[in-house]
Amino acid sequence: MEDAKKRVRRDVAETPKRARKRAPEATGAGAKVRRGFVLSREASIRLDTHAVGAQRQACEIIEDLIMTHLRRYWLSERGGAGPEDPATAAALE
């Protein structure tokens, strides 16, 4: 009986570990990145209320706010001419 227990324990220890599968890393303009941040209670309530009223997800609203109001700085890709949005180009000049 003890031999069976020892054999089972040894078998478990000898089994190779499987490599964890990772999702391929997305690149480009359409890539999504998971972010976490802290909001005040009032801001969270406003965001949730607006999301329900607009029938959208909170992340979509946050993304629109960022793209609309945070235009001062931008990152160019190598060889890129600059921002495509004329309002952004005018703000940078």
Write the pLDDT tens digit of every residue in 8-59: 565 555 666 677 776 666 666 678 888 898 999 999 999 999 999 999 999 9
Q: Let me know: does 83 contact 89? Beta carbons within 8 Å.
A: yes
**93 falls in which pLDDT band (50, 70, 90)?**
low
Tell me the C-alpha distance between 14 and 8, whole Å: 10
pLDDT of 4: 59
Tell me the C-alpha distance between 51 and 61, whole Å: 7
Domains of the chain, residue spans: 37-75
Question: Can you give the length of the chain in residues?
Answer: 93
